[in-house]
């Protein structure tokens, strides 16, 4: 039963990211249907989904700890499915914006609830987080592939409706499979693997939140903009929407494997050095993508997304290493509310930024943001110097 629940939680992560990117993948078709001359002019209407995706994490995390993670995951499955069906029925940009905002609110449940539920009994949490991250990014790849095919063969409304119905069906499976919780997580007594004093813990949480926000800007700008970037720079080489969707899906599928590798490394080595190395790799990759055209862009984009996806497991691994299970959902909720609330601005700014300066300038700016993220990670305390092992759990590897 635990394996089935783990599988369902990983599939839920894939769905979470899939739903958030349907709009960005289908935006050109939706813009034509709603009478917009350019897709860039419609992009700001999707910002509500990402804003609620961040802000909604705060109440979702609190309810996950105090009410129960199983109950909140049921709300996730049925809520996000119903929101997608509502989006498929909209008749104008403001109706769609409201439906996407509702979808973002239900999407916000997964990360502060589903991931703590996944790792609460894991013996190798880094590996579990890495595999879960792979699932999430396969959802991004599936968004590019599935949405491209559905838009071409059945229209953009089917791109929302089909996965919406599938999500509600999986909610029924989760309801029948996941065992009921005997107590809410807040009543448990499991401690963190590494204990810090209050000053050190505050420092870790501040660095984690700010680094997550800057990394989230890059993640949102790339995943929401890559589809149109490929369309623009492959003009004359490949122009079929479904083929471009397959190319983008393969980028995400290959890049997703980085999370499994990073997750296994997190279980063996200190977070700080690994995190800095992966983030610094983003700088040359983003700069190369800013300059490249055609198939060279494709190569640079693979490298870029490997480094972007590879950085994702670190914030969740930091919470697992330093925060008690009884309050992980609340800490994750606060972190996500701040970081995703900030990084959601990327979705609003993407269309106007590309329209004004182009993708080349945008990617150079993102390389600078990656340098800022590395500087923030450098402020993490060394684990050997800072850590005081929790009773009975032993110490962690040194920095």
DSSP β-bridge partners for residue 181: none
| Helix or strand (DSSP H, E) at 121 | none
Contact in structure between 182 and 371 (CB atoms under 8 Å):
no
**In the block, residue with structure tokens 């039963």:** 1
Cα 126 from Cα 181, distance rounded (Å) = 24
**In the block, residue with structure tokens 């009921």:** 180
**Other Cβ atoms within 10 Å of 187 Cβ, number:** 11
Q: How many residues does the chain have?
A: 399
Specify the CATH number of the domain 2-389. 1.20.1250.20
pLDDT in tens, the chain (399 residues): 678 888 999 999 999 989 988 988 888 889 988 988 887 788 888 878 878 887 888 888 888 888 888 999 999 999 999 999 999 999 989 999 999 999 999 999 998 898 888 887 767 778 888 888 888 878 877 887 888 888 888 889 999 999 999 999 999 999 999 888 777 676 665 555 555 567 777 887 888 888 888 888 888 888 878 888 888 888 777 767 777 778 888 888 888 888 889 888 988 888 788 899 999 999 999 999 888 888 888 899 999 999 998 888 888 888 877 777 677 788 888 877 777 767 767 767 777 777 778 888 888 988 999 999 999 888 877 665 444 444 333 333 333
Structural domain boundaries in the chain:
2-389
What single string gives the DSSP state of each residue in 283-314? Answer: HHHHHHHHH--HHHHHHHHHHHHHHHHHTTHH
CA distances from 185 to 108, 117, 323 (A): 19, 9, 13
């Amino acid at each position: 039963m635990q394996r089935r629940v783990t599988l369902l939680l990983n599939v839920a992560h894939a769905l979470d990211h899939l739903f958030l990117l349907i709009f960005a993948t289908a935006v050109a078709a939706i813009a034509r249907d709603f009478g917009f001359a350019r897709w860039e002019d419609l992009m700001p209407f999707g910002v509500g989904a990402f804003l609620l995706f961040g802000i909604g994490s705060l109440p979702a995390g609190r309810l996950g700890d105090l009410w129960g993670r199983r109950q909140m995951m049921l709300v996730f499955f049925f809520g996000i499915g119903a929101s997608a069906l509502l989006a498929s029925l909209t008749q104008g940009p403001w109706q769609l914006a409201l439906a996407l905002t509702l979808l973002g609110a239900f999407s916000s449940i997964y990360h502060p609830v589903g991931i703590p539920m996944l790792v609460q009994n894991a013996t190798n949490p880094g590996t579990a987080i890495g595999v879960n991250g792979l699932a999430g990014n396969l959802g991004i790849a599936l968004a590019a592939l599935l949405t491209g095919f559905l838009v071409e063969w059945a229209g953009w409304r089917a791109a929302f409706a089909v996965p919406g119905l599938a999500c509600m069906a999986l909610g029924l499976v989760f309801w029948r499979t996941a065992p009921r919780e005997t107590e809410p997580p807040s009543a448990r007594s499991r401690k963190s693997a590494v204990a810090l004093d209050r000053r050190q813990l505050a420092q870790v949480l501040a660095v984690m939140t700010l680094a997550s926000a800057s990394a989230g800007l890059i993640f949102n700008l790339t995943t929401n903009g890559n589809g149109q970037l490929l369309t623009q720079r492959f003009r004359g080489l490949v122009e079929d929407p479904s083929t471009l969707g397959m190319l983008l899906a393969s980028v995400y599928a290959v890049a997703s494997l980085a999370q499994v590798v990073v997750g296994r490394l997190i279980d063996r080595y200190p977070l700080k050095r690994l995190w800095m190395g992966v983030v610094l790799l983003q700088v040359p990759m983003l700069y190369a993508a800013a300059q490249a055209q055609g198939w060279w862009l494709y190569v640079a984009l693979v490298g870029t997304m490997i480094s972007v996806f590879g950085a994702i497991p670190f914030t969740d691994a930091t919470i697992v290493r330093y925060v008690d299970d009884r309050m992980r959902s609340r800490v994750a909720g606060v972190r996500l509310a701040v970081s995703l609330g900030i990084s959601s601005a990327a979705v609003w700014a993407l269309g106007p930024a590309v329209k004004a300066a182009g993708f080349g300038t945008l990617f150079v700016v993102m390389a600078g943001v990656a340098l800022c993220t590395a500087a923030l990670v450098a402020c993490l305390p060394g684990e050997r110097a800072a850590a005081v092992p929790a009773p009975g759990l032993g110490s962690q590897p040194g920095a």
